[in-house]
Chains A and B, each alone.
Chain A
């Protein structure tokens, strides 16, 4: 195939960098378009990987093409068509991952730069409700973000063989149970979209407070989640919940640099240096919040983003608009009755009505037992008890929280609090 007359860079390192860049930017587009031809995600992945490998040589000879994504897509689809032509029986056996006519499309535009964007099909397939949530997350990172199985395993603290088995099983189910390669229609879209946004948010929160490893934040996962949210925003500009999710990620991540001190110790919202927050991101996020709240009942991501925006726009912790936050939390609970939201609401209740009122709400949550094993429950309770001067009770609650988290920064914070209240208790 003729390469575009792009910049003629023949430096090996520059080529490798260009391929790596294209891997990060174009993987989802290339894979999604190739899956149309192969009608099988496994086969598509192989063809796309081959295309990236062949790019290393081809681009060194011919220069980096003007549109690397189109070049890679054409290369991967050629390979897929070759494989299919060679193996008619394989082709007959392949499940109808996508409707018949797209096979004709695939043949027709043979050799032409491919422009149709199938990324949404890919995303919705990876996040299909017939797959377990952990499989949805793994598949999205593998197939949409192009992460290796090893990288995903590391992020979720499981062995590489466990993660490989999880991905393989999910791909087998897609093919054997015939999970369709399509974007859901309007009636299914709200539920299906919620699953997609939940997966992206889960990738973000896993990175935002890493479950293990030396750092509080796993920047790679946070960045991947932000890229996914941006991609969804581009592909679904009218979906308000997509705007809400992107806003939530932007505003939350704007505080990244201030969440720990120079020694890596955790800093609470009230201790963070607000002048170091990324004002540009907060402004971008806040503009999206307004858009996501407009027109009809806002969804849970829009409301969570609105809550984050109220915090982000306050000049100081004391000057935060707590009554406004309480209103937002109550609305959020109506669309998303989650015990975690109820727990977060108690923090606001404490600011509006005092720590005792918040403790009463916490007691109700404890009685329900839905947050058993969630370390933020005893941690929040401990903080309220500490503020009420009930040092001994605070101490045992901090110790309970400490038992439930492995994140080093969080453990450090809780241990310091245990020491503080122990001193106050005269131990």
Chain B
């Protein structure tokens, strides 16, 4: 098995006006996703949601600035760390990951063991 990060990129404005109802829906979607990963033979090793980019602080060459590293329409809003057989398997799982206001990116985790 190999490890992959599923990075969730979404338009934050989609969440801005959703209120509690959207929050509830998103929670349900993510817990359903967690169940589906197991059914597909994969495993969630970790993951979290991030506060919006309005809370971000960037540091480049020791210069601290308010805001995200790059201003983009769709921003990194959360991630999962999963275990999958190969890229096809990881993609199959990532397709189920909720991202109603954007999409996800799959990145292999670099193997840094043994140099």
- Give the interface of A toward B (CB within 8 A): 89, 92-93, 95-96, 128, 130, 176-180, 184, 188
Interface membership of B62, Cβ < 8 A: no
Q: Which residue of chain B has the shortest Cβ distance to A178 in the bound complex?
A: B86
B108 touches A176 (CB 8 A): yes
What are the 8 tightest A-B residue pairs by CB atom distance, in nearest-first order?
A180-B86, A178-B86, A177-B108, A177-B87, A179-B87, A178-B2, A178-B87, A176-B108
Which residues of B are found within 8 Å of A92, using beta-carbon distances?
A: 114
Interface membership of B91, Cβ < 8 A: yes
Interface membership of B95, Cβ < 8 A: no
> How far does the alpha carbon of A95 sit from the alpha carbon of B4 in the complex, in Å?
14
Interface membership of B110, Cβ < 8 A: yes
B86 touches A96 (CB 8 A): yes
Task: Beyond A176-B110, A179-B87, list 6 extra A-B contacts (CB 8 Å).
Answer: A89-B114, A96-B2, A176-B108, A177-B107, A177-B108, A180-B86
Interface membership of B85, Cβ < 8 A: yes
> Which secondary structure characterizes the binding site on chain B?
mixed
Instruction: Give the one of A93, A96, A130, A177 with max B CB within 10 A.
Output: A177
> How far does the alpha carbon of A186 sit from the alpha carbon of B23 in the complex, in Å?
38
Which residues of B are found within 8 Å of A93, using beta-carbon distances?
A: 111, 114
Interface membership of B88, Cβ < 8 A: yes
Q: Enumerate 13 A-B pairs (CB-CB under 8 Å) in ascending A order.
A: A92-B114, A93-B114, A96-B2, A96-B86, A130-B87, A177-B106, A177-B108, A178-B86, A178-B108, A179-B86, A180-B87, A180-B88, A184-B88
Instruction: Give the one of B85, B108, B110 with max A CB within 10 A.
Output: B108
A180 touches B85 (CB 8 A): yes
- Give the interface of B toward A (CB within 8 A): 2, 85-88, 91, 106-108, 110-111, 114
> How far does the alpha carbon of A298 sit from the alpha carbon of B62 in the complex, in Å?
61
Q: A89-B114, A93-B114 are in contact. Are A130 and B108 (CB under 8 A)?
A: no
> How far does the alpha carbon of A89 sit from the alpha carbon of B114 in the complex, in Å?
9
Q: Which residue of chain B has the shortest Cβ distance to A180 in the bound complex?
A: B86
Q: How far is the CB of A308 from chain B (nearest CB, A)?
A: 34
Which residues of A are found within 8 Å of B91, using beta-carbon distances?
A: 130
Which residues of A are found within 8 Å of B85, using beta-carbon distances?
A: 180
Q: How far is the CB of B100 from chain A (nearest CB, A)?
A: 23
Instruction: Give the one of B2, B88, B110, B114 with max A CB within 10 A.
Output: B88
Q: Which residue of chain A has the shortest Cβ distance to B114 in the bound complex?
A: A93
> How far does the alpha carbon of A89 sit from the alpha carbon of B108 in the complex, in Å?
21
Which residues of B are found within 8 Å of A177, using beta-carbon distances?
A: 87, 106-108
Which residues of B are found within 8 Å of A130, using beta-carbon distances?
A: 87, 91
Q: Which residue of chain A has the shortest Cβ distance to B107 in the bound complex?
A: A177
> How far does the alpha carbon of A93 sit from the alpha carbon of B110 in the complex, in Å?
12
Q: How far is the CB of A68 from chain B (nearest CB, A)?
A: 33
Which residues of B are found within 8 Å of A96, using beta-carbon distances?
A: 2, 86
Q: How far is the CB of B56 from chain A (nearest CB, A)?
A: 28
Q: How far is the CB of A168 from chain B (nearest CB, A)?
A: 17
> How far does the alpha carbon of A179 sit from the alpha carbon of B108 in the complex, in Å?
10
Which residues of A are found within 8 Å of B106, using beta-carbon distances?
A: 177
Q: Which residue of chain B has the shortest Cβ distance to A97 in the bound complex?
A: B86
> How far does the alpha carbon of A95 sit from the alpha carbon of B2 in the complex, in Å?
9
